[in-house]
Chains A and B, each alone.
Chain A
Amino acid sequence: MSEQGVSVPSEALPAGRALRRPRAGAKTEVAVQLLSPLALLAVWEITARAGYIDQRFYPAPSSIVQAFWDAVTTGVLLHHLKITLGRLALGTLIGGVPAVLLGLAMGLSRWLRLALDPIIAATYPLPKSALFPLLLLIFGLGEGSKVAMVAIGVFYLAVTNSMEGVLAINPVYLDVAKTFGARRLDVVRTVALPGALPLVLAGLRLGVGTGLILGVLAEMLGARDGLGYLLWSAWQTFSVSSLYAVLFVTAVLGFVSVKVVDILRRWLVPWQSGSRN
């Protein structure tokens, strides 16, 4: 009686075909991508004005735009954005450059790897935010502690990815170099550096993101300026619309800084197809 035999459910075929339905046109796809956030904003605006959601926590988008516009026209937003941007850039430079150099050196030298990998591995899991009090102690309330926070965020991701970048190089490329008579420095120049570059930049990309998180956090906890400070003071004065406006700007800054690394990557790594994105 039981139907345990092998059978193909007849619905399987149409379902399989449905999966392979030709993709909608590119224009339709773009339209959907643009319309869905706009629709969300519209619903938000309407429900906020109608009093269905609490305007104290979720002010209507129009009032956020107003707050944003006020902050722009008074120059306040730009002032603080510039400061955060400066800290992010300086921290990325201070953390990223030594990290890339050290990571590459660790990838190339087994001894350096043996010596330093345990230290990095042991300190890596520590939440970097927990270091801020210590950094305040060391660098004081000035610029140093904030920049150091960004630098630490960039450093760890850049150092580990740069090292992995060298280690991930297919050994056949080293063999090729050797059979053509490459000396050690030639190998570094023609194989190790270019071979590691894709992962180096991937590390920087992640590092800049983390650096921004830590930088803004540091500004909230101990600064008199910057986007983090602006966020915090918006909370303290309960100007919720400004809070949203600054959040938006911070998100844009994160997006743009990652894009900058992407542009750098397209320029430095022209041999990787545009297959990503």
Chain B
Amino acid sequence: MAGTGGTTSTGATGTQFALRVDAVSKRFRQGQRELLALDNVSFDIEVGRFLVIVGPSGCGKTTLLRILAGLERQDEGQIWIRPNADGHPAAAMVFQEQSVFPWMTVRDNVAYGLALRGVGRRERFREAERWIRSVGLEGFERAYPHQLSGGMKQRVSIARAFAVDPDVLLMDEPFSALDEQTRTILQQEVSSLSEQQHKTVIFVTHSIDEAITLGDEVLVMTHRPGRVKRLISIPFARPRDVVGVRANPRYGELYEEIWQLIAEEVQQGPREE
């Protein structure tokens, strides 16, 4: 699965790739020192797959997503994202922290990407309202974010990302600040929506449970500098019942396997460059 250079969009068996990351490295300057955040990271994702990235804190998961979202530039290596027909940004991102615009109503927030594309008021509101319904926020179209709970704000972020119909969704620990019930409900929603809409998803989490529940594949990263440690396939079919999956006998084995990989990294600590 690990990419071996080249920028072809079709694999040997004719599978279509949504995105390829090829030998990407990223350094940050921190005062006098240079910090290697990502070291020669390579992987590919086929269209419609759900990839979950796990790894120790500070291993470069956010940095990787920011590079894919075009917010940061890698120092070495290449990324390739399947170009979409209309020339709009192919990837939409859901951020780790609260990122809903406080000065816009829920509806304006969700319609934001469409407004930037010049979609007319009537049409973008219709589209926004459809997504607001999909994430269960009917009745809150005209509310401002300060009137919403943390979980509801995160739903707005998710609706905002889906509303621009991106090919790739980048989600950075979107549920980490939520209570368990809300998290489970949103996991089910994101799992179902991405399945229905044939989205390719890259989803970062610290929760092994969440990784197995949602992912088609789980990419385990090493401690800093972040490298690909292992790519694990999750054999559960989708659409998936995110609660039911936990009763599957394979669930425990996968949990154990991923836990071992992460524990190794956490014990080892960051390598010095």
Q: Which A residues have a C-beta under 8 Å from some C-beta of B?
A: 172-173, 175-182, 186, 190-191, 194-195, 197, 269-273
Question: Provided the pairs A172-B95, A173-B101 are in contact, do residues A180 and B146 lie with their beta carbons within 8 angstroms?
Answer: no
Q: Which B residues have a C-beta under 8 Å from some C-beta of A?
A: 66, 69-71, 88-89, 91-93, 95, 97-99, 101-104, 112-113, 115-117, 144-147, 164
Of A175, A270, A272, which one neighbours B95 at CB under 8 angstroms? A175
Separation in Å of the A257 CB from the closest CB of chain B? 25
CB closest residue in chain B, given A181: B89
* Pairwise interchain contact B99-A190, C-beta atoms closer than 8 A: no
* Pairwise interchain contact B147-A180, C-beta atoms closer than 8 A: no
Residues of A within 8 A of B115 (CB): 190
* Pairwise interchain contact A172-B117, C-beta atoms closer than 8 A: no
* Pairwise interchain contact A179-B89, C-beta atoms closer than 8 A: yes
* Pairwise interchain contact A179-B69, C-beta atoms closer than 8 A: yes
What's the Cα separation between A14 and B104 when bound, in Å?
Answer: 47
Residues of A within 8 A of B112 (CB): 176, 180, 190
Of A173, A180, A269, A272, which one neighbours B116 at CB under 8 angstroms? A180
* Pairwise interchain contact A179-B70, C-beta atoms closer than 8 A: yes
Nearest first, the 10 closest Cβ-Cβ pairs linking A and B are A194-B103, A180-B113, A271-B144, A172-B99, A271-B103, A179-B93, A273-B146, A179-B69, A181-B89, A271-B102
What's the Cα separation between A272 and B112 when bound, in Å?
Answer: 20
What's the Cα separation between A177 and B109 when bound, in Å?
Answer: 11
CB closest residue in chain A, given B112: A180
Residues of B within 8 A of A272 (CB): 102, 146
Residues of B within 8 A of A270 (CB): 144
Question: Provided the pairs A172-B95, A273-B146, A273-B147 are in contact, do residues A181 and B117 lie with their beta carbons within 8 angstroms?
Answer: yes
Residues of B within 8 A of A176 (CB): 93, 95, 99, 101, 112
* Pairwise interchain contact A186-B116, C-beta atoms closer than 8 A: yes
CB closest residue in chain B, given A193: B103
What's the Cα separation between A179 and B68 when bound, in Å?
Answer: 10
Residues of A within 8 A of B144 (CB): 270-271
Residues of B within 8 A of A195 (CB): 103
Residues of A within 8 A of B89 (CB): 179-181
Residues of B within 8 A of A173 (CB): 99, 101
Known contacts A176-B93, A190-B112, then 17 further A-B pairs from the complex at CB < 8 Å, ordered by chain A residue = A172-B95, A172-B99, A175-B66, A175-B69, A175-B99, A176-B101, A178-B70, A179-B69, A180-B89, A180-B92, A181-B89, A181-B116, A186-B116, A190-B101, A191-B101, A194-B103, A194-B104
Separation in Å of the B189 CB from the closest CB of chain A? 21
Of B71, B88, B103, B147, which one neighbours A181 at CB under 8 angstroms? B88
What's the Cα separation between A254 and B74 when bound, in Å?
Answer: 56
* Pairwise interchain contact B92-A175, C-beta atoms closer than 8 A: no
* Pairwise interchain contact B145-A271, C-beta atoms closer than 8 A: yes
What's the Cα separation between A177 and B93 when bound, in Å?
Answer: 11
